[in-house]
Chain A
Amino acid sequence: MAYNVKEVVANKKPVFEAGHRMCAGCGAPPVARMVMRALKEGDHAVVSNATGCMEVSTFIYPYTAWGESYIHTAFECAGATCSGVESAYKALKRRGAIKDTEHFKFIAFGGDGGTYDIGLQSLSGAMERGHDMTYVCYDNGAYMNTGIQRSSATPRFADTTTSPAGDVIPGKMQSRKDLTEIMVKHHLPYVAQSIGVNNFKDLYEKAEKAIYTEGPCFLNVLAPCPRGWGYPTDDLMKMNKLAIDTCYWPLYEVENGVYKINYKPAKKLPIEEFLRPQRRFKHMFKPGNEWMIEEFQKEVDKRWEELLSLEELTNKEN
């Protein structure tokens, strides 16, 4: 259906309900709410959640914020757990234990730690085996739940508690792993990168496409973290906007190998705009550290150019 924010919010049940205990200004809850809203009327879902902020704040015994069935097992195995649920669905349908009229969808949520790092094998295995599921990574760029430790999704130079910006080593020295591209190389029917707040239409439509495309689909959604990034909680929308306007986090999708960039900023902002409001990059703005901003810009430009050429290569219509 054509997206209309008012209609979607008014008419579609959130599934991810009020009462959870995630932080003010956190980018993750809007991701879960919007993804779950893409579930069609009458359809059910089983959510599989990796250990992380979202899990520890939404299902504290005996309370749950989830309106559909939900399972959490451990940190590194949301993919494998979800594949077990999905296989059980097939088997139970086959032997008539679940009615033909009952439809379930399988959606996994994991943070970047549980997805890029410790859960990568489980995710890769589940995707390769072709389970009919959607894996959503809410990427906040570090192990925020345990207190802001660097992950392979942490951007270069970020000051985290295990890559502190010191006198000798100025923060994390490595660039981010490009998990979206790793998933594309699994040759999945649908892979997309989106953003939780600021462009609800983008996330809603991608979630709907992923959930209703048969086979394994992957969404990588940026979810800013006020504690880890160091921005005021009311700046969540601004942080998202800067991430896409600087092309730090391009919105794009890959459908059966065909790339489509969903948002090309009319004026690509310099990366400083994204870095400056964040405490984790504060040291980059000290005199003498200009080279860090230059290097960061180079990496963003390189990845953006690569993406443009992939779209050019695979999608002649654009």
Chain B
Amino acid sequence: MSIRERLSGNEASAIAMKQINPDVVAAFPITPSTEIPQYFSTFVSNGTVNTEFIAVESEHSAMSACIGAEAAGSRAMTATSSNGLALMWEMIHIASSLRLPIVMPLVNRAISGPLNIHNDHSDAMGIRDSGWIMLFSENNQEAYDNLIMAHRIAEHKDVMLPLTVCQDGFITSHSIENIELIEDDKVKQFVGTYNPEHYLLNAKEPIAVGPMDLQAYLFEHKAQEADAMRNAKKVILDVAKDFEKLTGRKYSLFEEYKLDDADIAIVCMNSTAGTTKDVVDNLRNQGIKAGLLKIRVFRPFPAEEIAKALENCKAVAVLDKAEGLNACGGPLFTDVTSGMYVNNLNIPTISYIYGIGGRDVTTKHIESVYKDLIEISNTSKVNNPYRYLGLRRGDK
């Protein structure tokens, strides 16, 4: 029987890490992810886990130590947010290019500047093309479940890439919700042990990691990394099937909420999906065919599957909790529309930037998006595809 609990998103992540019982955790405090290493070091101090905890002097060193530990043949984890991730950025690319399946909860927070400790996705968007698998989580349950599935995906021989599990800072990281935990022994069995093929601490076979990789080979190595990211899609789905057998909870590349027959749809990630589901229910009660596509797997990006899922919609809005600062829409918007174009789907699609720096997003905001979509689907006219939601400037 699963265990019913009430936990915050950070607590849920720390408990997942406790059950995974990694060999090494190297972490540095940063709001709002600090609680994860804080809870975890209590497990270390009390002997609940067998982990070596390295209280590093920066996030750059956190990721460097994880790289060293993972290359050595152990399972290494860290957790961070915002500027912490930015400081890691150099090592983020090195971790993935060395094909080290490090797993990291990322509690999303606005990236400086100016300084802001609240939620948006600008931190995650900074590593979106770095060779990390990126899973997003609507609530504490998903943050927990994604972490339990993480190592099976990352360490798969066809993948061997690092993986980050995102959740919204404060909104889910610090909010207590009901959650179903899996028993420790079942997690242990599901996650399994890590048996790398080659590792530094193999006395029988010394290896060298991290070469000078010049014109003759780097291109091929990058293409192999890209293949691994493509392979990850199937592995993610396979692991989700096993997870469903264990828990009954079903996961896919994204969640389609009342999308089957929807005329209008919103695409978004993390906690905003919960708010959107409430609005969809209300609109459905009014006879309006509204739907939601909630991204779970952001990298590898399921472009083809998204285009297929949206093909019967008359208008789509893509919500980005990060300014693209590029004059052509938010990062999720450009990915979704690119996927639609390549898959020959041409329907009016609007970019909305919202929730920057923790700006509150209510059902009223989401309702206004669906209202815009109704108008667009009636007229098939789009005045301005690059819009804002909840911005004090007179325009949307």
- Interface residues, chain A, CB within 8 Å of chain B? 44, 46, 48, 55-56, 59-62, 64, 66-74, 76-77, 79-92, 94-95, 97-99, 102, 104, 121-122, 124-126, 128-129
Contact = CB atoms under 8 A, between A and B. Distances in A.
A85 B200 contact: yes
Contacts of A55: 212
Given A69-B200, A86-B68, 4 more contacts: A48-B68, A61-B216, A80-B56, A92-B73
A46 B201 contact: yes
Contacts of A88: 23-24, 52, 68-70, 72-74, 76, 201
A72 to B, nearest CB: 4
A95 B50 contact: yes
Interface of B: 23-24, 26, 50-52, 54-58, 60-62, 64-74, 76, 90-91, 94, 98, 200-203, 206-214, 216-217
B212 A87 contact: no
Contact of B64 (A61, A81, A89): A81
A138 B276 CA distance: 59
A66 B200 CA distance: 12
Contacts of A74: 64, 90-91, 94
B323 to A, nearest CB: 29
Nearest to A42: B203
Shortest Cβ-Cβ A-B pairs, 4 listed: A84-B68, A125-B57, A84-B65, A80-B61
Contact of A68 (B68, B70, B206, B209): B206
B53 to A, nearest CB: 8
B200 A64 contact: no
Contacts of B209: 69-72
B206 A92 contact: no
B217 A61 contact: yes
A97 B54 CA distance: 20
Contacts of B57: 121-122, 124-125, 128
Contacts of A80: 56, 60-62, 64-65, 68
A37 B50 CA distance: 34
B66 A66 contact: no
A83 B211 contact: no
A94 B203 contact: no
A124 to B, nearest CB: 7
Contact of B51 (A68, A91, A125, A126): A91
14 contacts: A59-B211, A61-B211, A73-B91, A74-B94, A77-B64, A80-B60, A83-B56, A87-B69, A89-B72, A92-B73, A121-B61, A122-B58, A124-B57, A128-B57
B206 A69 contact: yes
Given A46-B201, A62-B217, A87-B54, A72 B24 contact: no
A86 B72 CA distance: 8
A60 B214 contact: yes
Contacts of B214: 60-61
A60 B212 contact: yes
Contacts of B54: 83-84, 87, 129
Nearest to A81: B68
Contacts of A82: 68
Nearest to A72: B210
Given A68-B206, A72-B209, A73-B91, A129 B201 contact: no
Given A91-B52, A95-B50, A121-B58, A69 B201 contact: yes
Contacts of B66: 84
Given A44-B203, A60-B214, A73 B67 contact: yes
B212 A125 contact: no
Contacts of A44: 203, 206
Nearest to B93: A74
A122 B61 contact: yes
B207 A69 contact: yes
A21 to B, nearest CB: 10
A104 B52 CA distance: 17
Given A71-B200, A80-B65, A84-B72, A92 B23 contact: yes
